[in-house]
Structure 1
Amino acid sequence: MHLSKLVKKQSGFSLIELVIVIVILGLLAATAIPRFLNVTEDAEDASLDGVSGGLATAVGFVRAQWEVDGRNNNSVILDGTSVSLDTRFGFPTGTGANGTDVTAMNDNRCQQVFNAILQSPPRNVQYTEDARNQRYTVRFLDGVGGDATDLNGDTVTGIDLCVYHQVASLTLDQTTGVASPAPDLNVGKGITYNPGTGTVVSFTN
């Protein structure tokens, strides 16, 4: 008798109660997920701004060291690394002994700048390579940097532009991991570096 009364007291949730719980969980998810996505995007933007600021500071260090060296050399030593530069402007153009012309940049030299002057550069690959598990892609744009006046007062035209895209803002081919479409200034989020003016700018699309 006592046992039967105990069994009767044990009861589960009714169907209405379960539906109410599911509806409440759905409402919570509907409000929490967008906020989480916004937080993720804000974090990506903050990371982009941080890298952009670090790159701009490092470019300034290279130029300052070049000034200290008397503006005579086509390279400076930064943290033990030889950084090449165009003696007409004094901003980094790579790390090789050759190739200091701001109108003769390429993907490899833009990548060298990124990796050589940043103290802890984010993982990166050239834009034609598998970008999965990377943070940035690197690409140079031929002649997109415009014109600049060198130290002699001459105008140099057709300066190349280095572009560093945040991989999280790109669409990658599922098979190859290569960004598609090829990243340019109208795609994703990233940073531009002009080796003729030393200007570093972050951009978003």
Structure 2
Amino acid sequence: MATRTRRNTGFTLVEILIVVVILGILAAIVIPQFTNASEDAKSSSLYTQLQTIRSQLELYQIQHNGAYPTLAQLQDDTGGGTGDQWGVMINKTNVSGTIDAANEFGPYMQQPPKNPFTNLSTVVAGTAYTADLDDGWVYDAATGSIWACGFDEATGTYSSTSGS
């Protein structure tokens, strides 16, 4: 009589552990690549957004006899009612910057811009970039310059700490 030898099929515990370790190593290599791509996309979006905001501030200045919006005018949330500010940029204004739907200038933006790193549209006074992440934008009314809070354009990096 012939005897049959039974052969066990399947994977051993050691083989399964080796596969799990290899998958873990691959995940450790691949996941940071996607994280960097996400931050690069935010940075690229922010550069474009800053260019748009700056060009609209220049247009406002040209149409308002050389005057940039004051900080108070940017902090006004008239029309939006959401507390997002940017009143004179998202509403029609007259030559002196008074908001009224019947006026001839603007709106310069459809909605208040949000800083993609802080997800805020609030505007604060300043004369340079700040690492503070408690607001959306830093604005110098004397020069019409604007910077994104938490984002250093010179290095293309953002701060990940809050100022409060």
Please, what TM-score do these two structures have when normalized by structure 2?
0.57
Aligned with 2:119 (options 135, 139, 145): 135
Structure number with the higher strand fraction is: 1
Amino acid at match of 1:48: L
Corresponding residue number in structure 2 for 1:150: none
**Is the contact made by 2:122 and 2:137 (CA closer than 8 Å) also made in structure 1?**
no
Corresponding residue number in structure 1 for 2:109: 118
Deviation at 1:29, TM superposition (A): 0.8
Deviation at 1:33, TM superposition (A): 1.5
SS in 2 for 1:193: strand
Going from structure 1 to structure 2, the CA distance change for 1:139 and 1:121 (only over 3 Å counts) comes to closer
Please, what TM-score do these two structures have when normalized by structure 1?
0.47
Corresponding residue number in structure 1 for 2:17: 19
Q: How many residues align?
A: 122
Identity of aligned residues (%): 30
Going from structure 1 to structure 2, the CA distance change for 1:9 and 1:57 (only over 3 Å counts) comes to farther
Amino acid at match of 2:109: L
Structure 2 counterparts to residues 63-142 of structure 1, below 5 A: 63-66=61-64, 71=65, 89-93=66-70, 107-108=75-76, 111-113=86-88, 115-116=90-91, 117-122=108-113, 135-141=119-125
Deviation at 1:135, TM superposition (A): 2.8
What is the RMSD computed on CA atoms of the aligned residues? Answer: 3.4
Quote the Cα distance in structure 2 between the aligned partners of 1:13 and 1:107. Answer: 66
SS in 2 for 1:54: helix
Deviation at 1:36, TM superposition (A): 1.4
Gaps of 5+ in 1: 72-88, 94-101, 125-133, 146-160, 164-184
Going from structure 1 to structure 2, the CA distance change for 1:114 and 1:25 (only over 3 Å counts) comes to farther
